[in-house]
Amino acid sequence: MFHIVGVTPEARSPEEAFGGKTPRGKIVVEPGDLDRTYRSFVPEKAEVDLVVSGTPHLSIFEVRSLARLLEGKKVSASTMLLLTTNAPVKALADQEGYTKAIEAAGGRIVVGVCYYIMTPREMARRHGFRTIVTDSAKLANIIAAYGYNPIFRPTAECVEAAIRGRIAR
């Protein structure tokens, strides 16, 4: 987790972000770095068992974006799409029609929990899950401990993988 000065509410300025102290270092993200990170998560197979977004919980803006990406499309019958958020965001998503659009496409919104604490080993055993595609760096970096092959990708690629039931190897 990190703060972005001028973006993160607790980091409106460098002084506020660092509490008046000098930063210990600087991280520079060069063009291509993020794509190399995505591609370092290699699928064992092209078929996708599960796509998960929302670790940490999705904001209403992310739910809206996912609803729009799924509009008029259907999740592959061989793939489960789970989106996790909190109760207030879910209520707003219901009110705005985003939940209906997501469910019409075959996705599910789960409230108050992240996938990695939803008994992921049991979920894998019960549903035959192995390949999980996610836009969450957090989930991608911890779910392998539960026996999954995690694939970290941008949100639009995750949605495409859910729809096609496959991901480019």
Per-residue pLDDT tens digits for 152-166: 999 999 999 999 999
- In sign, the C-alpha dihedral spanning 11, 13, 15, 18 is positive
What are the start and end residues of each CATH 3.30.499.10 domain in the chain?
43-164
For residue 127 the two structure tokens come to: 């549903």
Helix, strand or coil for residue 37?
Answer: helix
- Cα dihedral value 27, 30, 36, 37, nearest 10: 20
* Residue in the structure block whose two tokens are 């190897």: 169
Mean pLDDT along residues 22-49: 93
Helix, strand or coil for residue 47?
Answer: strand
CATH of 43-164, one of 3.30.499.10, 3.40.50.12780, 3.30.300.30, 3.40.50.11740: 3.30.499.10
Mean pLDDT along residues 139-154: 97
> pLDDT tens-digit profile of 67-99?
999 999 999 999 999 999 999 999 999 999 999
**Prediction pTM value:** 0.87
